[in-house]
Structure 1
Amino acid sequence: MTRFVLYGSPHSLPTYKVALMLRLSGAPFSFRYVSFQKGMHRTPEFSALSRWGQVPVLLDDGRIYLQSAAIVEHLAETLGRFQGPDPAARQKVREWMYWDVDALFPPVFNCYGVQLGQRGLLPIDVEPAIATYHRQRAETALSVLDSHLAHRDYLCATGPTIADRSATVTSPSPKSARSM
């Protein structure tokens, strides 16, 4: 039996962040697809796992973990990988992880949704002023990331941490905010 079971959707960036952490750490896991189109996130079985009806959900030896940043932080500590070399670096990692969830991910995700709508891939139509607003917020957040990485390879340490994994998965690519 596999220690880790990841519930998620292949269309979910937060699910991808957790799956990437497991893969890069070499931790075997099984994946359970949760189809939002089929309403699987509203079933009593899934509600027992995820009180918010969201993915990802990670089972680690039967214990439930929610929210991608918290899951990735748990995995870094549990697996001893990508957590930062010392307490000061680990604090910086947490700060960048929460900054990603607060300031980077939302505007980048919103820009992505606007683009999908413009291409007819989502049934949404966004007013140009709102699209511009989301784009400006995304560019501002990406410029913060670019500026911090201007003279260094990693956000918090001399090697990669979960903060780097999170920010680089969220953004189109660090050091290239203007390509968005």
Structure 2
Amino acid sequence: MGIKIHGAAFSTCTQRIAVALREKQVPFELVVVDFANGGHKSPEHVKMQPFGQVPVLEDDGFFLYESRAIVRYISRKYAGQGTELCPTDLKGAALVEQAASVESSNFDAYASPLVFETVFKKMYGQTTDDARVAELRQKLEAKLDVYDTILAKQPYLAGNNLSFADLFHLPYGSMLATGGHGDVITSRPHVKAWFEKLQARPSWKETVAAAQHK
């Protein structure tokens, strides 16, 4: 049996896994979860993911949820093929984990709710909280100022090589532009250069194309 991902091509967290699988050159099957009809809350899905969320990895009877944990699993299982997403030496791996913690605490914590306010709320006919948007943007800009300092010294967040910590930024980072806030990235030269390199990778282009056809 091959890798199956229970999720949706348009789901940001599913995309986080899909881009990693493509970097590792691992074929996978997307098992589409029907959000519109509450498929993510169905008893069958909740057996795999008790919080009723996506995505879920299925690998020959092994089930794993939480997108970042899944990417780490993929990176280790397929360490010998495709792009190396985390080095095996202790210090190199520690730097990648440091960068991954930075993404979670200093990027996703602000980018994700900002995208929710400016993109997803509009999709579902809800009202955007402008004060919340302003607050989130201000905090995200302060964090990206630090990113710009880091990336002035090295091409990727963990050093000279791409890692899964960089890839983690792609789904929500790309959707900032959809919500009208792409300039938080493009106005910072080193962040802009780094993010454009990530978006230009074939793995991400394939992931975006798959989302547009689902």
TM-score tier by shorter-chain length is 0.7 to 0.9
State the Cα distance separating 1:137 from its structure 2 match. 2.0
- Asked whether the 8 Å contact 1:58–1:64 carries over to 2, the reply is yes
Q: Which of 129, 132, 147 is matched with 1:130 structurally?
A: 132
State the Cα distance separating 1:101 from its structure 2 match. 2.2
Q: How many angstroms apart in 1 are the aligned matches of 2:165 and 2:158?
A: 8
Counterpart code for 2:32: Y
- Asked whether the 8 Å contact 1:111–1:138 carries over to 2, the reply is no
More helix by share: 2
Counterpart code for 2:18: A
Displacement over 4 Å in runs of 4+? none
- Tell me what 1:44 maps to: 43
- Structure 1 residues 168, 89: closer, same or farther in 2, change over 3 A? farther
Q: How many angstroms apart in 1 are the aligned matches of 2:172 and 2:118?
A: 16
Other structure's SS at 1:58 match = strand
Q: How many angstroms apart in 2 are the aligned matches of 1:148 and 1:169?
A: 21
Are 1:162 and 2:164 an aligned pair? yes
Q: How many angstroms apart in 1 are the aligned matches of 2:45 and 2:166?
A: 30
What is the aligned length?
177
Deviation per CA, 1:19-45, whole angstroms, max 9, x where unpaired?
111111110111111122210011111
Q: TM-score, normalised by structure 2?
A: 0.74
Are 1:71 and 2:70 an aligned pair? yes
- Tell me what 2:96 maps to: 93
Deviation per CA, 1:95-153, whole angstroms, max 9, x where unpaired?
222322232113112222222268x4332213322120111122223223222111211
Q: Which of 108, 113, 116 is matched with 1:105 structurally?
A: 108
Out of 15-24 and 75-84, give the one that drifted further.
Answer: 75-84
State the Cα distance separating 1:155 from its structure 2 match. 1.4
- Asked whether the 8 Å contact 2:96–2:163 carries over to 1, the reply is yes
Q: How many angstroms apart in 2 are the aligned matches of 1:170 and 1:158?
A: 23
- Asked whether the 8 Å contact 1:82–1:161 carries over to 2, the reply is yes
- Tell me what 1:176 maps to: 185
Counterpart code for 1:40: G
Q: How many angstroms apart in 2 are the aligned matches of 1:136 and 1:37?
A: 33
State the Cα distance separating 1:85 from its structure 2 match. 4.7
Q: How many angstroms apart in 2 are the aligned matches of 1:117 and 1:40?
A: 19
